Homo-oligomer: A and B are copies of this chain.
Amino acid sequence: MTDSSRQRNTDALVAAIVQMGAKRRLGKDAQIYAQGETAAYVCLVVTGSVSTSRLMSDGRRQVGDFYLPGEVFGLETGETHRFSAEALRPCELILGNRAALNSLAEDRELERAMWRAMSRELDRAQEHLALLGRKTACERVATLLADVASRSDGAADLPMGRQDMADYLGLTIETVSRTLTQLQGSRVVEFAGFRRFRVSNPTALERLAA
């Protein structure tokens, strides 16, 4: 999950959404769309942060991914959304009408951009599969920290709370918490508050992320 893989640099898709989309403000925890809903919009994050997630009938929850400013989500399905999307904090989004974007599809550049975005989603999902299927709790947490840290320089801010981290990593909130204190104890990262942190030992973090 480097900057380029997240496609934070503007491309044709971002440009099209900005040009034709409708801006919208959302409060914390607001639902942007629900799972099963018809996929009407492709969304660009302007400020704030968003997560996609899926709920099982008994309440178990799996977070699919997190999206930061400059990133596009909502592209992930065919007819209906398989995940729901929620604002992790107050957000400003631009919603691009899916049908309108498709009808613009004579635009080769836009088409390629949508393809790339979809491809990126799939890459990330596959990386996530290996994390959930084969990594230890410590490796999972280290991977997430490395990922977030790679998207900012110096001190980084976790865009999500502990529960969202746990649901992303396939762990419990207690295990996430314990692992974080352990990672601090071994001087790999340093926390200032619950969310702000600095990577003290990038090499060690990289190695732990496996």
The residues of B that contact A57 with a CB separation of less than 8 Å are: 210
Q: Please tell me the size bucket of the interface on A.
A: 35 or more
Q: What CA separation (Å) do A111 and B111 show in the bound complex? A: 10
The stretch that binds B, out of A14-22, A74-82, A153-161, A184-192, is: A74-82
The residues of B that contact A134 with a CB separation of less than 8 Å are: 56, 60-62, 170
Q: Which one, B118, B129, B170, contacts A118 given CB within 8 A?
A: B118
Q: What CA separation (Å) do A58 and B210 show in the bound complex? A: 9
Mark contacts of A171-210 with chain B using CB atoms, 8 A cut-off: 1 yes-contact digit, 0 otherwise: 0000000000000000000000000000000000000001
A126 at the interface (CB under 8 A from B): yes
Interface set, chain A 49-75, CB cutoff 8 A to B: 54, 56-58, 60-62, 64
A121 at the interface (CB under 8 A from B): yes
A123 at the interface (CB under 8 A from B): yes
Interface of A is mostly: helix
Q: Please determine whether A129 and B130 come into contact, CB atoms closer than 8 angstroms.
A: no
Chain B CB within 10 Å, residue with most, of A56, A58, A118, A133:
A133
Q: Determine the residue in chain B with the shortest Cβ distance to A167.
A: B133
The residues of B that contact A111 with a CB separation of less than 8 Å are: 111
Q: What CA separation (Å) do A89 and B185 show in the bound complex? A: 49
A144 at the interface (CB under 8 A from B): no
Q: What CA separation (Å) do A167 and B77 show in the bound complex? A: 26
The residues of B that contact A78 with a CB separation of less than 8 Å are: 115-116, 119-120, 123
Q: Determine the residue in chain B with the shortest Cβ distance to A58.
A: B210
Chain A interface residues (CB < 8 Å from chain B): 54, 56-58, 60-62, 64, 76-78, 82-83, 111, 115-116, 118-123, 125-130, 132-134, 167, 169-170, 210
Q: Closest 10 interchain pairs by CB? A: A133-B170, A132-B132, A78-B119, A125-B125, A62-B130, A60-B134, A62-B133, A132-B133, A82-B126, A62-B134
